[in-house]
Amino acid sequence: MNLENRNENNITRRHALKIGLAGTAGLSMLDSNMLAKASQQIKPATAVKAKAKSIIQIWMWGGPSHIDTFDPKPEAGYDYCGPLNKAIETNVKGIRINASLPLLAKQADKYSILRGMTHGINGHETASYLVQTGHKQGRILFPCIGAVVSALKGYDRGYKGLIPPYIVLTQPQGRFSEAGFLGMKYKPFSTGGDPNKNPFIVEGIVAKGISDKRQLSRRELLHKLDTLGKATPNNHLLKKLEACEENAYELMYGDAKKLFDLSTEKDKVRNDYGRNTFGQSCLMARRLVENGVPYVTINYKGWDTHKQHFQSMNRKLPEMDKAMAMLLQDLSDRGLLNSTIVWWGGEFGRGPKVQWKPPWNGGRSHYGKCFTSVVAGGGFKGGQVVGASNENGTEVAERPVYPPNLLGSMYELMGIDPEGQMPNNAGLNVKVLPDTQKGKGRLKEIM
Amino acid sequence: MKNACKLLLITVLLLASTFAFPAWGQASNLYEKPGPFVPFNSIDEHVLAKLKEHNIKPANLCSDAVFVRRVYLDVIGILPDGPEVREFLRDTSKNKRAKLIDKLLARDEFAEYWSLKWSDILRIKAEYPIKLWPNAVQAYHRWIYECLRENKPYEKIAREMLTSSGSNFRVPQVNFYRAVQQKNPSSIASAIALTFMGTRLEKWPEDKRKNLEVFFSRVAYKTTAEWKEEIVYLDPSATESINATLPDGKKVQIKPGQDPRQVFADWLVSPDNPYFAQAIVNRIWFWLMGRGIVQEPDDIRKDNLPCNPELLAFLEKELVKSKYDLKHIYKLILNSRTYQQSSIPQSNSKEIESLFACYPIRQLDAEVLVDALCKITGTKESYQSPIPEPFTYVPEEHRSINLADGSITSQFLEMFGRPSRDSGLLTERNNTPSDSQRLHMLNSTHIQKKIEQGPKLRNMVKIGNRKPNLLIEMLYLNILSRKPTAEETRIVKEYFKTKGINRGQAINDIIWALINSKEFLFKH
């Protein structure tokens, strides 16, 4: 959560930005060579020119099947495709995706498909960590890309928005601590609530049934009854609490409340995104980046389909297709796609071969060896396919993309040099993300 | 049972109404007892000597009301309820503070609360990146709890953790060797340096680090046919003798068949070990006084000196003398005037907190805070974990303090700085206020529901419906652990007259204001 310390940071900035990051904790057992040594200082991380201002991460919680979405294998037969055995042409000649995504097929000019994603890990936690931080499990817990962006593009670096710079719609992922060694200050603000409900109750910002007048009088009461505060007027923690209160009321009454009010959108727009939690989350994400929020994650649950896989896909794919296609169209219509990266993907793909036998009865397992991610906008070219899997989607056949390659490309577009130093007050001398040039490197072919 | 409680409550209330309101005229009398600094025990002599050196005047003694709230929160992590506060305030015996300290230290809740603190530094969590797995988490947590409950000598606790072998389910303390991010000698050595020596291995010179690793080079792991069971054992194939060097430079030969961990443990827990006693007394001091005598308490090294070496040496000696009786150390600190100081400083010096010239104001731990909210309102929190399978559901009767597994959490706990238990560093727990916390307390449905629907609160409101003085007093006693001042009563009564706000709303707003007050959110 990054609402913290806004007031303080303003002061800090005025005082010539002495402090790096104010997060604490997160590491203990680090290698001594990672300790800051003055002689080995790495250059600052924000030396690159930015093409993108924001990232919308559609996090396919649990791992989506690549075969059933953007890497169809109709020739591989029933054992691999089940009932989703058709591919369709897209609006880009030569690119076909699964027929389950007809609306996204009409947007293919806007995105690029990475069919050679690989890391070989099949455990949710370890894979989630790797895909979102770029690091294998080690002795230091690293921050995920959202927290890095929040540290390097947030309040410490001139972001002045009222809305926190790293938002999660609607629940945190819970797999690992997003901020890693950066500490609590760089955790995301998760909205809670459901954007498909009216009103969208954003925990803390939008409350039900308390009139503005009553808010005002009870706040006054709070101040009148502040007996301890009056007895210890100089305590730094109590002063900090007062600053937080100021910020909190600013959020409750300022533009933040309006921003989260989806009822101000036209019905047609809301319907085009789909009247469901994911659809309205995409709409909310668009509103957030429109307002300058640099990182938005939509945690889209329900893709860990060990059983009843195809029943789930029949329910979920149309919903995803509609919302994501509309998001791309809408961002493009509003001129936001050039500056907004949309990143679709999960921690891994799903087993290419369907498990028809009990206890799975038509399920797909975890599959980290070969899977697909999709990127659009913010400097990524559209209408491209990068890499390929083999004939039945079990192995990478061309241009493997490792998680650091993809994350490094996004960092570069966001104006963050992956080779630059990750500021922290944990005493670590570490790069934002090493190894982004591993294998065939960052995604130069589509940047 | 319920009726009995109600009856008790009513009796207490009737008794209460026969007492006139004391003259809490000034805030100072409310929070402190002015008077000269008279040392209660040797701790105070050492603290006072240091303060005199720096020409700093210590704070006054805290009031009884402040003390009762503070000591409940610090010792058992639970807010005292109205009757408990009243009982203490009414007690006229001279040693009533010492009596209350003994009573609290003897409660099972003491062991529950301190199991939480120990679980933080031992990194007890089922999930990534520690991956103890739920069954092992429960076993390990239970073991810690039993150790603390029976007040097992600390030397014995450490020895058992360091030298045990066996199944993670059946010999719970072997999980010490599993609660590391990588199961290798260097990761284990780091954990040992941090946990038992209060030092960070990465700041040691390389040769010294390697020397320590040697003692754990034969620790091995294997799985069994039982799902996620893991045996921690000593590699039996390694039989040659080892020439090893202890952290203090002493050389030892580990003979064939001898457990190197045993040799290390013997050295670690011996009475003249320079690290062992120091690290734990400093940690307990940190836990109770908000700041270590060496700060950070898990970063003890030659160039990070204690602010009061005599005080530290005194506590070390006391621990060894008492045969590693941890409660003895708690008792010494809690009974000191230093601990019982008011949080209102009498000096402007920058060193008031680092030299312990007042009790430091600190925000409640996340778990303590949410438990306190539940206690006041009579509501519950529910916790569950959908990963890994099978799902874990925590019974709603459980207080949040009792959550064994650091992976089972809530947005509230995360927001209020519950540690992620990745590193075992004390700084992982972050009790500094943030905007998001403030938003949540001031304006979330979570808190609003507790206020509007909490059955215990509703009951209080019913009882005090026609007697505003009584209602106000009950709310103050239960939320702030003290009676309201005349001025506060006046302000609250005036609020009832606010236009456009009905009585029910007014009462909810008063509760809202009290649980959002600094006095509630902070230990003071």
**pLDDT, tens digit, for every residue of B390-414?**
678 888 889 999 999 998 888 899 8
The answer to whether A223 and A37 are in contact (CB under 8 A) is no
- Write the pLDDT tens digit of every residue in A93-131: 999 999 999 999 999 999 999 999 999 999 988 999 999
Q: How far apart are CA B253 and CA B238, in angstroms?
A: 15
pLDDT mean across residues, chain B: 92
* All residues at 6 or more sequence positions from A339 whose CB lies less than 8 Å from its CB, including other chains: A51, A52, A53, A54, A377, A378
Percent of chain A at pLDDT exceeding 90: 70
The residues spanned by each domain of chain A are: 6-206+260-446
> Given phi > 0 = left and psi -120 to 50 = alpha, else beta, which region is A438?
beta
A15 has pLDDT over 90: no
Q: Is the Cβ of A20 closer than 8 Å to some Cβ of chain B?
A: no
Of B194, B500, B524, the CB nearest to A28: B194
Put simply, the answer to whether B182 touches A138 (Cβ < 8 Å) is yes
Using alpha carbons only, give the angle A318, A321, A322 rounded to the nearest 5 degrees: 85
Q: What was the pLDDT predicted at A16?
A: 27
Q: What would the mean pLDDT of A244-273 be, rounded to a whole number?
A: 91
Higher pLDDT, A11 or B483: B483
What whole-number distance in Å separates Cα of residue B219 and Cα of residue B165? 9
- Chain B residues within an 8 Å CB radius of A252: 439, 442-443
Find all residues with CB under 8 Å of A332, minimum gap 6, and list them.
Answer: A110
Residues 31-90 of chain A with CB under 8 A from chain B are 31-32, 35
Residue A133 has pLDDT above 60, yes or no: yes
User: Smallest CA–CA separation between B150 and chain A, in Å?
Assistant: 30
- Pick A213's closest partner by Cβ from B428, B445, B500: B500
Q: Which of A419-428, B138-147, B363-372 has the lowest average pLDDT?
A: A419-428
Cα separation, A438 vs B249, whole angstroms: 43
Question: CA nearest A229 in B: which residue?
Answer: B518
- What is the pLDDT at residue A192? 87
User: Strand, coil or helix: what is B223?
Assistant: strand
The answer on pLDDT for B203 being more than 60 is yes
State pLDDT tens for residues A58-96.
Answer: 999 999 999 999 999 999 999 999 999 999 999 999 999
Mean pLDDT computed over A14-33 = 32
Lowest average pLDDT, out of A189-203, B87-101, B200-214, goes to A189-203
Q: What is the pLDDT of residue A11?
A: 33
| From A426-430, B146-150, B414-418, the region with the lowest mean pLDDT | A426-430
Given a contact cutoff of 8 angstroms between Cβ atoms, the answer to whether A227 and B519 are in contact is yes
Cα–Cα distance measured from residue B173 to residue B75, given in angstroms and rounded to the nearest whole number? 24
Are the C-beta atoms of A2 and A159 separated by less than 8 Å? no
Does residue A217 sit at the B interface (CB-CB below 8 Å)? Answer: yes
Structure tokens given for B437: 């916390």
Between chains, do A129 and B442 touch, taking CB under 8 Å as contact?
A: no
Whether residue B15 is predicted with pLDDT greater than 50 in this model: the reply is: no
Q: What integer is the mean pLDDT of B118-146?
A: 94
CB contact under 8 A, A241 and B492: no
Give every CB contact of residue A287 below 8 A, 6+ residues apart in sequence: A259, A262, A265
Q: Where are the alpha helices (DSSP H) in B27-95?
A: 27-31, 42-53, 64-75, 82-90
Q: Are strands A384-386 and A371-376 parallel, antiparallel or unpaired?
A: unpaired
Residues B499-506, mean pLDDT to the nearest whole number: 91
Say which CATH architecture domain A6-206+260-446 belongs to. Answer: 3-Layer(aba) Sandwich (3.40)
> Which pLDDT tens digit goes with each residue over A148-178?
999 999 988 889 888 899 999 998 877 778 8
**pLDDT above 50 for B271:** yes
Q: Does A359 contact chain B (CB < 8 Å)?
A: no
Q: What is the ipTM of this complex?
A: 0.91
pLDDT exceeding 70 applies to what percent of chain B?
94
Domain boundaries along the sequence of chain B:
109-268
Q: Is pLDDT at B4 greater than 60 in this prediction? A: no
Q: Cα–Cα distance between B184 and B189 in angstroms, integer?
A: 9
A178 neighbors A32 (Cβ within 8 angstroms):
no
**How many other CB atoms are found less than 10 A from the CB of residue A324?**
28
- pLDDT tens digit sequence for A290-308: 999 999 999 999 999 999 9
Q: A153-162, B4-13, B182-191, B404-413: which range is least confident on average?
A: B4-13
Query: pLDDT higher for A254 or A43?
Result: A254
- Cβ neighbours of A124 in B, within 8 Å: 387
Q: What is the mean pLDDT of residues A358-368?
A: 93
User: Between β-strands A371-376 and A111-117, what pairing exists: parallel, antiparallel or unpaired?
Assistant: antiparallel
Cα–Cα distances in Å, from B400 out to A183, A378, A387, B447, B517? 22, 44, 49, 16, 22
A221 CB neighbours in chain B (<8 A) are 491-492, 495, 509-510, 513
Which of A214, A87, A226, A287 has its CA nearest to residue B506? A214
Residue B416 pLDDT class (50, 70, 90 cuts): very high
Tokens of A400: 């493997």
B247 and B212 Cβ atoms separated by less than 8 Å: yes
pLDDT at residue B3 above 50?
Answer: no
- Strand, coil or helix: what is B86? helix
pLDDT at A17: 27
pLDDT of A28 above 60: no
In this complex, do B201 and A203 lie within 8 Å of one another by their Cβ atoms?
Answer: no
Give the integer Cα–Cα distance in Å for B219 and B238: 10
- A248 in contact with B at a CB cutoff of 8 Å? yes
pLDDT reported for residue A2: 40
Are residues A423 and A29 in contact, defined by beta-carbon separation less than 8 angstroms?
no
Residues of B whose CB is below 8 A from A237: 361-363, 432-433, 522
Task: Choose the mutation target among A21, A184, A430 for the interface with B, i.e. most B CBs under 10 Å.
Answer: A184
Burial annotation B20-44 (CB, 10 A radius, 16+ → b, else e): eeeebeebeebbbeeeebeebebbb
CA-CA-CA-CA torsion sign (B420, B426, B429, B430): negative
Cβ contact, residue pair A204, B442, below 8 Å: yes
Q: Would you state the pLDDT for residue B277?
A: 97
What is the pLDDT at residue A125? Answer: 86
Decide if A204 and B440 are in contact by the 8 Å CB cutoff: yes
DSSP run (H or E) holding B222: strand B219-223
Residues sharing a CB contact under 8 Å with residue B366, sequence separation 6 or more, in sequence order: B400, B412, B413, B414, B415, B416, B417, B418
- Flag if B448 and A227 touch (Cβ within 8 Å): no
Round to whole Å and give the CA distance between B30 and B23.
Answer: 9
CB A279 within 8 A of CB A44: no
The SS3 assignment for B251 reads strand
B336-393 pLDDT, tens digit per residue, is: 999 999 999 999 999 999 999 999 999 999 999 999 999 999 999 989 886 666 678 8
Q: What is the pLDDT of residues B58-70, one digit of tens each?
A: 999 999 999 999 9
Give me the pLDDT at residue A44, please: 67
Q: Tell me whether residues B190 and A29 touch, CB distance under 8 A.
A: yes
pLDDT digits (tens, 9 = 90+) for B297-335: 999 999 999 999 999 999 999 999 999 999 999 999 999
Q: What is the pLDDT of residue B125?
A: 93
Location of structure tokens 């069919």: A115
Please report the number of interchain residue pairs, chain A to chain B, with beta-carbon separation below 8 angstroms: 223
B98-112 mean pLDDT:
98
Looking at the complex, does the CB of residue A399 fall below 8 Å from at least one CB of chain B?
no
Segment B437-442 shows an average pLDDT of 94
pLDDT greater than 50 at residue A348: yes
The confidence score (pLDDT) of residue A47 equals 62
Residue B107: phi and psi, rounded to 5, are: -80, 150
Looking at chain A, the whole-number percentage of residues with pLDDT higher than 70 is 90
Query: With 80 as the cut, is the pLDDT of residue B21 above it?
Result: no
Higher-scoring residue by pLDDT: B40, B22: B40
Q: Is the pLDDT of residue A4 over 50?
A: no
Q: What is the pLDDT of residues A144-153, one digit of tens each?
A: 999 999 999 9
Structure tokens that stand for B367 in this block: 């778990």
Alpha-carbon distance of B402 to B228, in angstroms, equals 23
* Secondary structure in 3-state letters for chain A: CCCCCHHHHHHHHHCCCCCCCCCCCCECCCCHHHECCHHHCCCECCCCCCCCCEEEEEEECCCCCCCCCCCCCHHHCHHHHCCCCCEEECCCCCCEEECCCHHHHCCHHHEEEEEEECCCCCCHHHHHHHHHHCCCCCCECCCCHHHHHHHHHCHHHCCCCCCCCEEEECCCCCCCCCCHHHCHHHCCEECCCCCCCCCCCCCCCCCCCCCHHHHHHHHHHHHHCCHHHHHCCCCHHHHHHHHHHHHHHHHHHCHHHHHCCHHHCCHHHHHHHCCCHHHHHHHHHHHHHHCCCCEEEEEECCCCCCCCHHHHHHHHHHHHHHHHHHHHHHHHHCCCHHHEEEEEECCCEECCCCECCCCCCCECCEECCCEEEEEEECCECCCEEECEECCCCCCEEECCECHHHHHHHHHHHCCCCCCCECCCCCCECCECCCCCCCCCCCCHHHC
Per CB-CB distance under 8 Å, the chain B contacts of A135 are none
Average pLDDT over residues B79-96: 95
pLDDT at A41: 52
Per-residue pLDDT averaged across B436-451, rounded? Answer: 93
d(CA B474, CA B508): 14
List the single residue in B31, B516, B524 with the smallest CB-CB distance to A222.
B516
The amino acid present at A290, given as its one-letter code, is E
Give the pLDDT score at A176: 79
